[in-house]
Amino acid sequence: MNNDIKAVFQEVCRVLGLPRPLIEHWLKTNNGRRVDELNAAAELISSAGVPAEQMQMALDDWRANDWRGRKGETPTPAMFGEHAVIFWGRWTKTQNELRGLDMDRPRWRGKFDRLRVARARLEQERAERDVGPDEWEGLARKFESADRPGAAAACRARVSA
């Protein structure tokens, strides 16, 4: 195992709450299949280029968006590895869209970037066409459900502007 994969392996274990003594126990008791699953997840994450600091955000995203995560279950290493790669792809795409719109990185560290992109697009479209009040209201409801009342109020203010 090279150093990059080893560091990712350790981070996956940390994020999933698997302490080192448990991993060592699995190796001693010939339950290496579980360690192999962790290693495969680490190799997948490493090959996709997911940075270690994004893994906690990937787990938070899994807990918020996967039905098993919403029930409080922890993902298997294989599920987590696949979700981390998908999350990283979506996160990178959103960041590129924000850069394309010349938007600064939001203070909430990427949690609501998709909403911010939608708001910026409506602002741009407003110059080209009449953006209906229902579009602004729909975006305001999304911001409210994300517990961003200030942004929701700003969207509602655009209706009268």
Count Cβ atoms below 10 Å from residue 88 Cβ, excluding itself. Answer: 19
Answer yes or no: is pLDDT of 13 > 80.
Answer: yes
| Most confident residue range from 100-114, 121-135, 136-150 | 136-150
Mean pLDDT of 81-107: 79
16 versus 103: the higher-pLDDT residue is 16
Q: For residue 1, what pLDDT is reported?
A: 54
Answer yes or no: is pLDDT of 154 > 70.
Answer: yes
**pLDDT above 90 as % of the chain:** 22
- pTM recorded for the entire structure: 0.61
The CA–CA distances, whole Å, from 25 to 19, 28, 82 equal: 10, 5, 26
Answer yes or no: is pLDDT of 91 > 70.
Answer: yes
Please, what is the average pLDDT of the chain? Answer: 81
